[in-house]
Structure 1
Amino acid sequence: MIVVGLAASSMVSASSADDAMSQLNAVMADDAKRQASYEAGHERIRFCGYCHGEDGNSKREYIPNLAAQHPLYLFNQFEKFRDGTREDYVMSKLAKTLSLEERINIAVYYSQQTAKPRTGSDPTNADAGEKLFAVHCAGCHGDKAQGFRDMPRLAGQPAEYLGIALRGFKELDPTKHNTPMIGVAGVLSEREMRALALYLTAL
């Protein structure tokens, strides 16, 4: 507890995104600070665990895994929920209640967990999904869907959640949003989205 307290006290509140990124990078680059942040994050994720699991593997099929995501990606999602770039009834409120150091600690904690693949229910569709992934997704998310930095890990995500996310991107107005996922999801049929989700969930 003493180490955690010292780590927390060294985190000076930062108003800019650059300062926040520097703070996160400093934690990840130092073994002692990372461990202290991890322990503090473990204490703070009690509420998060109800949906995302204590080990970051979600308890509900429509909720994403956080385990093994890059800490930068996780931290950035907190910031998007805080500023309204992303909207969710629970997460938007929760993100606004957390301090900067709490957001960093939770991101660090979940980034160090092990993602557990789910079982795909349709091997034929999963094979088709592998080909779709290679064409549309591997360039950004990695050849094994492991993600990196601000690109999310897709491997092992619940198929239901992946389907919801893809359909959400497909429905976005490109005149108001600039994510490349609009173009990716826009060319996929419902059957192709299902195949892609079944492939990814079993990785």
Structure 2
Amino acid sequence: MIIIGLAAAPVVSASPADDAMSQLNAIMADDAKRQASYEAGHERIRFCGYCHGEDGNSKREYIPNLAAQHPLYLFNQFEKFRDGTREDYVMSKLAKTLSLEERINIAVYYSQQTAKPRTGSDPTKADAGAKLFAVRCAGCHGDKAQGFRDMPRLAGQPAEYLGIALKRFKEMDPTKHSTPMIGVAGVLSEVQIEALTSYLTRQ
């Protein structure tokens, strides 16, 4: 009876993604492991720092900040670049050269950095953007745009990058992509996009 029971029982094995999530959760829950991962990530981000900054605050207005993003979100973006879900000339190649451990460590390192708000946006537009954000965006990204787990932090992102991202979502074919951002961005006018980016970049 024991043999039959074992043979009939389904074999459940964790996927590589599940294994990675388990490792990441274990690291973030343990101070010593998190510090070791942080230090290893710091050693590995030298190339990343040319664009995203050593402290995760972007050096270019069209490139996103990585500082203070949730490590799960950062890791998931690596996976999307690796499998082709997201495409970028640099990131798609880079993601495929990094080991699982390196991807985890980089995610941990940047998640522990402090995001810095940008300056120079129009205060009047920012006020309008704050109201729009509260209605359209806060439900997923948080009332302060801090993000949560696999929802990205938008606070402090470069306005140019945010504008590019929103316009890209507007142009996506909903029959080929399933992100809810298509519906959110699809109804935004150019003026509303400028207002949102002016607000978010100052946070």
TM-score (normalised: structure 1): 0.92
1:15-70 Cα deviation digits (max 9, x unpaired): 62111100111111111100000000000000000000000000000000000000
Q: Which residue of 2 aligns with 1:36?
A: 36
Question: d(CA) in 2 for partners of 1:120 and 1:26?
Answer: 40
- Quick check: 1:57–1:115 contact (8 Å CA) kept in 2? yes
Shift of 1:121: 2.2
Is 2:136 the partner of 1:140? Answer: no
- Quick check: 1:127–1:199 contact (8 Å CA) kept in 2? yes
> Structure 1 counterpart of 2:63, which letter?
I
- Quick check: 1:120–1:201 contact (8 Å CA) kept in 2? no
Look at both structures and tell me which one has the larger radius of gyration over its CA atoms: 2
Q: Which residue of 2 aligns with 1:11?
A: none
Q: Which residue of 2 aligns with 1:52?
A: 52
- Quick check: 2:78–2:103 contact (8 Å CA) kept in 1? yes
The aligned runs of 1:1-203 (5 Å cut-off) are 16-203=16-203
Give every structure 1 segment of 4 or more consecutive aligned residues whose post-TM-superposition deviation is greater than 4 Å. Answer: none
TM-score (normalised: structure 2): 0.92
- Quick check: 2:129–2:196 contact (8 Å CA) kept in 1? yes
1:82-130 Cα deviation digits (max 9, x unpaired): 0000000000000000000000000000000000000142111111100
> Structure 2 counterpart of 1:160, which letter?
E
Shift of 1:81: 0.2
> Structure 2 counterpart of 1:129, which letter?
G
Count residues in correspondence.
190
Question: d(CA) in 2 for partners of 1:148 and 1:111?
Answer: 12
> Structure 1 counterpart of 2:193, which letter?
M
- Identity among equivalent positions (%) equals 91
Question: d(CA) in 2 for partners of 1:69 and 1:197?
Answer: 18
Question: d(CA) in 1 for partners of 2:19 and 2:189?
Answer: 42
Question: d(CA) in 2 for partners of 1:194 and 1:124?
Answer: 11
Question: d(CA) in 2 for partners of 1:182 and 1:129?
Answer: 19
Shift of 1:191: 1.0
